[in-house]
Amino acid sequence: MTLPDSDRHDIAAGRHGDPFSVLGLQQVDGRFVLRAFIPGAEAIEAVDIKTGRRIVSLSPVKDTPGLFEGVATRRKKPFAYRYRVTGNGHTWTEEDAYRFGPVIGDMDEHLINEGSHRQLWRILGAHVMIHEGVAGTHFAVWAPNALRVSVVGDFNLWDGRRHAMRRRGATGVWEIFVPGAGDGAVYKYEILDAGGNPLPQKADPFGFGAEHPPRTGSVVRSIRGYDWSDADWMSSRADLQRHDKPVSVYEVHLGSWRRVPEDGNRPLSYREHAEQLVSYASDLGFTHIELMPVSEFPFDGSWGYQPVGLYAPTIRHGTADEFRAFVEACHAAGLGLILDWVPGHFPEDAHGLGQFDGTHLYEHADRKEGFHPDWNTLVFNYGRAEVSNYLTANALYWLQEHHVDGLRVDAVASMLYRDYSRKEGEWVPNKDGGRENYEAISFLQNMNIQAYGEVPGIMTVAEESTAFPGVSAPADQGGLGFGFKWNMGWMNDTLSYMAEDPIHRKYHHSKMTFGLHYAFSENFVLPLSHDEVVHGKGSLLDKMPGNGDEKFANLRAYYGFMWGHPGKKLLFMGGEFAQGTEWNHDSSLDWHLLEHSQHHGMQSLVRDLNGLYRACPALYQRDASPEGFEWIEENNAEESVFSWLRRGEGDTPPVLVVSNMTPVTRTNYLVGVPEPGVWLERLNTNATVYGGDGNGNMGSVRTQEREVAGRPHALSLTLPALTTLFFVPERD
């Protein structure tokens, strides 16, 4: 035996930190020595990979079951081989993982060390490949403080002694090529901390697939070679997602949009969504679908906002390639796809990122920095280059590998401020004694720079609820670099106003007008999202005052107000047909409500609002510019009437929007307009087709030559109760 006792004991115990220096083909005192550790083996021969002839028989090492050693006395240079193994009455051949060289190259190591690898997912994780002429899977994981890392799975009977990995210098990365492991193999990483203590088995931070919850293993999924068919969309989307284009987003939770009651009430698959959801959203005139997080997550009740597998589309609806088929279907229908992305925090599940190698690797060690009290989750350490690289690469991964058109970044405010939801003494100030999280700010800026720089035509959207300046301003001008920002203030104010009994609305008039004081400070999206219909808040319809018909009329008028207001649009699923109950992530939407005229009418209204929005450039071209908006009447609190003009570029026809937010019909109501002639009533939320009583202006109104509100012409309008009206001038 040529192996020292210390190595022999560590290999048998699965504690050896450098197994590639011991196992496989080694040169010892000028001779080639083969060593194999195969628990359960009774005899092992090394055979020629071409002829199958025996090269050398390996002898069992005394007092070390499973460890064999042999000297190839007739070989003068390294040679290729495989093992013929006998055990438990069977004989088989297998490749030796320890005969294969590294896969990760020097440049990859350099970029990993710098924290600047823009395609980090193509190096780390599990990749099916042909390596040195043999099919298998290359595994690589970052665990710099581990004593030993092994990949375990079905292919080695989950024995951490079988495939202990190779450490790659100062990178902290461990890698191994496992011959024969292929697509669909379940695996985890078995890690010993610096003291040699075993940790809970970890899922792969870069895993492209996962087992069905509650199982927690990663699954090998090949992400190469998908035959995309969306080249036309990809080449044109840059023009479709600009600030001066219509953006109307249908927000969806895939697990509860529609279920199959006759099949155990299961949610739809990605392929079923590709048929049903895509055609539905397209028919309603939305420009985009936004999915609540699809990165793999353990707990259904988190709705995906506590992810463990950031690189794996959740298996709840299918595989990565099936998710790509859904993306393709969106693009074929002319729909962009936005994903909710969660780089702000992660759960403490034992198989996740927390204390990954026995240290606070991805998270802060100090709970005052590294723990979110709101969600009982851990906070990423954005100041660590490798962590920032991990997250930025993840954004690029979804945009590049899955052709996603945009990312909506969740809970940005919680990232920007160190004292977010923390009491005095429960947070750590920045280096200047302030509350801003400089590291998170830098991360978000860098993410946006790389996303827009590397992937043409995409958009990023921030869910940011504070007055932090420049969220959608370019990073090189001191902004965060997002393309758009959710307007949470508008949403809170206007919903609060709409919840008031109309008799009291005159006292809250400013809640509908205040948003225009800052409407052009950012590139805003007006969100009526899932957050407004959960946790006891009820549905949008339920928030409206009055009896049944009045509730519908209020909601129709509100949607009209929203679609006429500056800012892109977002509506959570169910809102388009006035879902009556609060959203339940475990149940399908109440599709049966469409059998009732009021609900069907609401759906028709949303379809027509989207159609009008896309047909009238004045409603979107100058969303982020004060030149695109002009109050006609903003101070009529007594009658709760609002009227304004939307203007587009050049000679684009303006759009007049008038909202009457009381249950009183107003006749001969004078509204000043900038040009004479006939103004067409393009949409009336009180139309019978939408569930209203049909009262309105008979399709058009001709101006009177009289000055009203400082304008030389006026329209004498009928303003139906609880109604929003849209008018455009008739031009040759």
Which residues are CB-contacts of 686 (< 8 A; sequence separation ≥ 6)? 553, 556, 692, 693, 694, 695, 696, 720, 721, 722, 723
Predicted confidence at residue 2, as pLDDT, reads 73
3-class SS of residue 290: strand
Average pLDDT over residues 42-60: 94
Question: Pick from 34, 64, 99: which residue ends a domain?
Answer: 99
Average pLDDT over residues 246-274: 97
My answer on whether 124 and 82 are in the same domain is no
Verify whether residue 18 is a known catalytic residue. Answer: no
In a domain? residue 644:
yes
My answer on whether 643 and 623 are in the same domain is yes
Instruction: State the pLDDT confidence band at 73, using cuts at 50, 70 and 90.
Output: confident
CATH number, domain of 61, equals 2.60.40.10
Report the distance separating Cα 130 and Cα 122, nearest Å. 15
Residue 680 CA: distances (Å) to CA of 336, 351, 684: 31, 61, 11
Determine how β-strand 524-528 pairs with β-strand 484-486.
parallel
H or E segment to which residue 400 belongs:
helix 385-401
In a domain? residue 25:
yes
- Catalytic hit among 7, 10, 296, 463: 463
Half-sphere exposure of 409 (CA within 13 A, CB side): 33
Average pLDDT over residues 395-420: 97
Average pLDDT over residues 68-74: 89
Instruction: State the pLDDT confidence band at 732, using cuts at 50, 70 and 90.
Output: confident
Report the distance separating Cα 419 and Cα 26, nearest Å. 56
3-class SS of residue 690: helix
What is residue 162's DSSP assignment?
Answer: T
- Catalytic hit among 272, 340, 386, 410: 410
Predicted confidence at residue 714, as pLDDT, reads 97
In a domain? residue 172:
yes
* Residue in this structure with the two tokens 């723990």, named with its chain if needed: 371
Name which of 337, 339, 355 is nearest 295 in CA terms: 339
Burial classification of residue 558, based on how many CB atoms lie within 10 Å of its CB (0-12 exposed, 13-18 middle, 19 or more buried): buried
Instruction: State the pLDDT confidence band at 63, using cuts at 50, 70 and 90.
Output: confident
My answer on whether 27 and 110 are in the same domain is no
Query: What are 596-648's pLDDT values in tens digits?
Result: 999 999 999 999 999 999 999 999 999 999 999 999 999 999 999 999 999 99
Report the distance separating Cα 85 and Cα 592, nearest Å. 63
CATH number, domain of 675, equals 2.60.40.1180
My answer on whether 93 and 154 are in the same domain is no
My answer on whether 124 and 212 are in the same domain is yes
My answer on whether 688 and 624 are in the same domain is yes
Average pLDDT over the chain reads: 96
Question: Pick from 201, 219, 237: which residue ends a domain?
Answer: 219
Taking residue 692's Cβ as centre, other Cβ atoms within 10 Å add up to 24
My answer on whether 111 and 215 are in the same domain is yes
Verify whether residue 410 is a known catalytic residue. Answer: yes
17-21, Cβ contacts within 8 angstroms, sequence gap of 24 or more: 17/147, 17/148, 17/167, 18/166, 18/167, 19/98, 19/164, 19/165, 19/166, 20/98, 20/166
Q: State yes or no: cis peptide before 214, omega within 30 of 0.
A: yes
My answer on whether 628 and 699 are in the same domain is yes
In a domain? residue 662:
yes
CB 220 within 8 A of CB 128: yes
Name which of 657, 626, 428 is nearest 521 in CA terms: 626
Average pLDDT over residues 72-97: 92
State both tokens at 452: 């827009």
Report the distance separating Cα 202 and Cα 190, nearest Å. 7
My answer on whether 53 and 33 are in the same domain is yes
Q: Order the strands of the 678-684 sheet from edge to edge.
A: 629-636, 641-646, 655-660, 723-729, 678-684, 700-702
Residue 177 CA: distances (Å) to CA of 152, 580, 676: 12, 55, 76
CA 724 to chain centre: 35
In a domain? residue 606:
no
Name which of 552, 386, 536, 567 is nearest 472 in CA terms: 567
State both tokens at 451: 């996303």
Per cent of the chain over pLDDT 70 is: 100
Instruction: State the pLDDT confidence band at 258, using cuts at 50, 70 and 90.
Output: very high
Query: What are 197-207's pLDDT values in tens digits?
Result: 999 999 999 99
Query: What are 157-214's pLDDT values in tens digits?
Result: 999 999 999 999 889 999 999 999 999 999 999 999 999 999 999 999 999 999 999 9
In a domain? residue 411:
no
Range of the domain at 719: 618-729
In a domain? residue 296:
no
Question: Pick from 198, 219, 240: which residue ends a domain?
Answer: 219
Report the distance separating Cα 25 and Cα 81, nearest Å. 9
Predicted confidence at residue 504, as pLDDT, reads 97
Name which of 245, 394, 199, 224 is nearest 308 in CA terms: 394
Least confident of 74-83, 269-278, 481-490, 520-529: 74-83
My answer on whether 628 and 692 are in the same domain is yes
Burial classification of residue 76, based on how many CB atoms lie within 10 Å of its CB (0-12 exposed, 13-18 middle, 19 or more buried): exposed
My answer on whether 198 and 93 are in the same domain is no
Number of separate domains in the chain: 3
Predicted confidence at residue 145, as pLDDT, reads 97
What is residue 714's DSSP assignment?
Answer: E
* Residue in this structure with the two tokens 């203007």, named with its chain if needed: 647
In a domain? residue 638:
yes
Please give the angle made by the CA atoms of 320, 322 and 325, to the nearest 5 degrees.
115
My answer on whether 89 and 115 are in the same domain is no
Instruction: State the pLDDT confidence band at 1, using cuts at 50, 70 and 90.
Output: low
